Amino acid sequence: MKKLIVLFAFCIMAFGYNFNGTWINAHKNQAKFNDPIKIVIKNGIVTPFIKRSGTKIAKLKPKYATNSQSALFEAWGFNNKNLVLLIQPINSAKIKVIAKKINIAKRKIVTKNFIFIRKNFITLNKKRAFVGTWVNHNIFSAISRMQISLYNQELLIKAWRPLRRGEEYLGAAVAKISGNKLTIRWHRGNLYVNATIFGQRYYNKRYHQLKMYLKATNQYTGISNEQTIIFKRSHPAPIFRDNFHHIKIGPIDLNLLINSY
């Protein structure tokens, strides 16, 4: 472990740390007035965002920071106050931010330490919580099984519907993520399918239950069908005949989906 730390420190000294990116305060929900909650760094230019009253956020002026011994240092002045930030690398996904809040009128200095996490790292962890094989044993449901995987850092959802004997592969779609919610839309001809999936029972950095709200609409006839489906994580992942590496990514066959109701 010590060797790894020394090697990482050597790499920073030799090649410099890549601060570029959007960084989020790991405990932003606990931030106090004028605490930094987000920092955007691009080519040495640092833009802090600080918490104000209520839910308000203030953006400070972008400034070139001093780079000294692989750390960034800069100060901002506003409303007779100063904010000084010292930004130090921890690893590729985390930085340490030492903030000094200086109240000139009161001659008061408050020093706080924060951990900031690279934004895309947070998003990637949220996506990983959904990854796995999900099963639903209700034979009257439109979808019996889903496989959720990361494909080019996007969440790819493959779905199967139940048959009297076995299952039928429906297709694949890329989901949009927002917190613990996934949104999927499929469209073919006059048929539109909207599905919203909520991650539930989160522990060990993974969801262990999914709740899907599914609505299929024929825009030509105006007929809609809706279902609520509960999926459980499969432990261990079952062995299926499908060769996932040779399945072409495409839209789900909506005719099959509608008919399965």
Per-residue pLDDT tens over the stretch 234-244: 865 443 333 33
Number of domains the chain contains: 2
Each residue of 91-102: pLDDT tens digit? 888 899 999 998
137 shares its domain with 243 = yes
101 shares its domain with 215 = no
130-155 average pLDDT score: 87
Residue 99 domain-assigned (yes or no): yes
Residue 39 domain-assigned (yes or no): yes
23 shares its domain with 141 = no
CB of 86 closer than 8 Å to CB of 73: yes
Residue 69 domain-assigned (yes or no): yes
115 shares its domain with 155 = no
Residue 249 domain-assigned (yes or no): yes
What is the 8-class DSSP label of residue 17?
A: -
CB of 236 closer than 8 Å to CB of 215: no
Measured torsion, CA atoms of residues 204, 28, 198, 215, in degrees rounded to the nearest 10 = -160
Of residues 183, 186, 233, the one with CA closest to residue 210: 233
Of 68-72, 152-156, 235-239, which range is least confident?
Answer: 235-239
Tell me the residue type at 45.
I
Each residue of 140-149: pLDDT tens digit? 888 899 999 9
pTM flag (> 0.85): no
58-87 average pLDDT score: 87
Q: In terms of residue numbers, what domain contains 19?
A: 2-119
Residue 124 domain-assigned (yes or no): no
Each residue of 170-193: pLDDT tens digit? 888 889 888 889 998 877 677 788
Count of helix runs (H) and strand runs (E) in the chain: 3, 18
CB of 118 closer than 8 Å to CB of 97: no
Domain of 133, CATH number, reads: 2.40.128
CB of 160 closer than 8 Å to CB of 167: yes
107 shares its domain with 32 = yes
**Longest distance between any two alpha carbons in the chain, whole Å:** 78
The residue out of 119, 140, 161 marking a domain boundary is 119
Quote the mean pLDDT of the chain: 80
Using only the alpha carbons of the chain, give its radius of gyration. Answer: 25
Scanning the structure block, which residue is given the tokens 């599914």?
A: 214
52 shares its domain with 173 = no
192 shares its domain with 250 = yes
99 shares its domain with 174 = no
The residue out of 59, 92, 119 marking a domain boundary is 119
162 shares its domain with 108 = no
Count other Cβ atoms within 10 Å, centred on residue 46.
Answer: 23
The residue out of 74, 90, 119 marking a domain boundary is 119
Residue 60 domain-assigned (yes or no): yes
Strand partners, 218: 191
Q: How far is CA 193 from CA 70, 108, 127, 251, in A?
A: 51, 59, 22, 11
The CA distance from 210 to 134, in Å, is: 8
91 shares its domain with 185 = no
Sign of CA dihedral 172, 173, 174, 175: negative
57 shares its domain with 111 = yes
90 shares its domain with 136 = no
